[in-house]
Structure 1
Amino acid sequence: MTQPEISVVITIFNEEGNIAPLLDAVYESLSAIDYELILVDDGSTDHSVEKMKALANDRTRVLVFNKNYGQTTALAGGIDHSNGKYIVTMDGDLQNDPSDIPMLLNMVREEDWDVVAGKRAKRKDGFVLRKLPSKMANWLIRHTTKVFLSDYGCSLRIYKAHIAQNMGLYGELHRFIPVLAKQEGARMTEVDVKHHPRIHGESKYGLSRTFKVIADLILMLFFQKYFQRPIHIFGTLGLFAFTGGVLVNIYLLVLKLMGEDIWGRPILLVGFILVLGGVQLITTGIVAEIIVRTYYESQDKKTYTVKAIFQGDKKEA
């Protein structure tokens, strides 16, 4: 089996009304491209799987999960089963437009980007429940991670295969895929893509995801800055807390030696908490360092990625 030019990964969850027009649009848009289409059903409870199986062509594979794992896991499954030189991801709700895929492919192929991300220039969603929270989340992610993309919520992106396959997608980190790609050293840009209002089915997103985004952002900041050296954050915080606690206790000891009664003072409790908290943070840092080393060494993983090797001016395969 020859390697296709692109693998298109589309995640599906209860989208039976969108399957037929989605596949028609994909097949028409990719007719001039050597592609494979991977449809990942994330535990749909409607007739999505039957529709996909009935309408799939000979370039289409349908991955059916035994239950709903979430969009991140569905994307990871589709990427794991991809064989293309480039991997495209998009949602199955017909809000992304497959006709943008050839343009993304030309950009990543001709301009040698590792990732080209779509930006919904004329987004067809409600302002209060969708656009406003999205704008706030995008601003927060941009300015905390220093990965300056405009639209983290657009699923339509194209990646060089080695970037997509090494991002390590877990939990609900699909919102932070550009950050994960940047950690792999990816050169990325973004381009305006079309966006359509949802016609069939219901949106799977809402305001309830706000706290999940914040929690995942904290995790991403840790991954971005301290994943390989957790002692630097836990140890530093622990030393500050321990030192503060020792200084407080020295101050109280001086007062005690001067004959003052220190029992019952709130600052006494603060001193003990700071000392104990500092010891716990330092210990956590040491344990985290051991876990990181186990993570890499038990799987023979490297802490670096080699982009290319040259013998003189000749690039090795």
Structure 2
Amino acid sequence: MHIPKLSVVVTVFNEEENIKPLLDAVYSAMGELDYELILVDDGSSDQTIREVKKIANRRTKLIIFNKNYGQTTALAAGIDHATGQYIATMDGDLQNDPSDIPMMLNKAIDENWDVVAGRRADRKDGFVLRKLPSKIANYVIRNTTKVYLKDYGCSLRVYKAQIAQNMELYGELHRFIPVLAKQEGATMTEVAVKHHPRIHGDSKYGLSRTFKVIADLILMLFFQKYLQRPIHIFGTLGLFSFLIGIIINLYLLVDKILGADIWGRPILLLGFIFLLAGIQLITTGIIAEIIVRTYFESQDKKTYKVKEVFTGDI
């Protein structure tokens, strides 16, 4: 089986007007490179699939989902189907420029980087709705995860295949792929790349994703520190809570022995709450430990279903 040097993975969702310029740009940028192009259609309801099938060449493979699963799952499917030694990822809205990929690939090869991440040098987005929230999010993610990239929102990246294919992608963790890669021991660098304004279609993202990013960040921090030892966080919090409950109840016991009436006092209720919370947290930690062991020993199951795999023949 022929193994190409590069697999270019592009996720698309309702991008019918962008398909032709997208494919033209990729084919032109890749030139004589030994590559394959993998498009993942994430349940488009327009004519995206028809447009791909109309102009795709033999280097192009289209993975068609039976419904919309989200960008992270689509990205995971593309990486699963990639056969190249290196994997490049980018969005299908033409804001990323595929002409940057050869430069990034050469940097990864020549300098032996596991991940080369793009940084949008002159971002063509609105300041209030896109740039400002992005700057804040990048700052928070950098300083909480200690993975110091400047642009977590740029999808244009090049990975060594073994790094990309060992990452566990699910939910909406595509924003935190550099953090996941770092957990695999990846070395990474960041380079300036071109960025274009969206010409066709509408952005699939807005301010509504802010709370999702915060929730995913909390999950990511848990993964970084406690994925393989959840008892350390639940057990520690549980023991701390249990200890506070014991202290409160010992105080009330001494107070009772000295003749005080403790019934109905708010501190009595507080003591019982801390005791019960401690027991519950410790129990949760034990259950989480069992789940983690089951997770690492379980069979590999995909989080998506493929409706069709189409290979171009032009």
Could you tell me how far apart the structure 2 residues matched to 1:252 and 1:296 are? 45
d(CA) in 1 for partners of 2:211, 2:27: 38
Q: Which moved more, 1:259-268 or 1:80-89?
A: 259-268
Q: Measure the CA separation in 1 of the matches of 2:145 and 2:177.
A: 12
Q: Give the superposition deviation at 1:38.
A: 0.3
Q: Could you list the per-position Cα deviations for residues 33-91 of structure 1 after superposition, in whole angstroms to 9, with x for gaps in the alignment?
A: 00000010000011000001111011000111111100000000000000000000000
1:77-123 superposed Cα distances (whole Å, 9 cap, x missing partner): 00000000000000000000000000000010000000000000100
Which residue is 2:59 aligned to? 59
Where does residue 2 of structure 2 map in the other structure? 2
Q: How far apart are residue 238 of structure 1 and its match?
A: 0.3
Q: Give 2:121's aligned residue.
A: 121
What SS does the corresponding residue of 1:58 show, helix, strand or coil?
A: coil
Three-state SS of the structure 2 residue aligned to 1:165 is: helix
Higher RCO by CA contacts (8 Å cutoff, separation 6 or greater): 2
Residue in 1 that maps onto 2:202: 202
Kindly indicate whether residue 85 of structure 2 is the aligned counterpart of residue 85 of structure 1: yes
Q: In structure 1, what residue type is equivalent to 2:258?
A: M
* SS class of match (1:84): coil
Q: What SS class does the counterpart of residue 192 from structure 1 fall into?
A: strand
What SS does the aligned partner of 1:248 have?
A: helix
CA distance in 2, matches of 1:211, 1:269: 34
Q: TM-score normalised to the size of structure 2?
A: 0.94
The answer to whether the aligner puts 1:292 opposite 2:279 as a matched pair is no
Matches within 5 A, 1:123-272: 123-272=123-272
Give me the identity figure in percent: 76
2:304 counterpart residue number = none
One-letter amino acid matched to 1:226: Y
Q: Secondary structure at the match of 1:118?
A: strand
The normalised TM-score by structure 1 is 0.93
Instruction: Provide the C-alpha distance between the structure 2 equivalents of 1:256 and 1:29, rounded to a whole number of angstroms.
Output: 81
Question: In the TM superposition, what is the alpha-carbon distance from 1:264 to its structure 2 partner?
Answer: 1.8
Report the 3-state secondary structure (helix = DSSP H, G, I; strand = E; otherwise coil) of the residue aligned with 2:8: strand
Aligned length: 300
CA distance in structure 2 between the aligned counterparts of 1:299 and 1:80, rounded to whole angstroms:
16
Q: What secondary structure sits across from 2:123 in the alignment?
A: coil
Q: Secondary structure at the match of 2:93?
A: coil
User: What's the secondary structure of 2:294's corresponding residue?
Assistant: helix
1:49 corresponds to: 49
Unmatched runs of 5 consecutive residues or more in structure 1:
301-317
CA RMSD of aligned residues (A): 0.9
Q: Which amino acid aligns with 2:213?
A: V
Moved over 4 A (4+): none
Task: Give the letter aligned to residue 206 of structure 2.
Answer: G
SS at match of 1:207: coil
Cα drift, residue 266 of structure 1: 1.4
Question: Which residue identity is paired with 1:40?
Answer: V
Between the aligned partners of 2:296 and 2:124, the Cα distance in structure 1 is: 44
Q: Distance in 2 between matches of 1:147 and 1:296?
A: 25
Q: What is the CA-CA distance between 1:297 and the residue it aligns to? A: 3.0
Query: C-alpha separation between the residues in 1 aligned to 2:134 and 2:110?
Result: 31
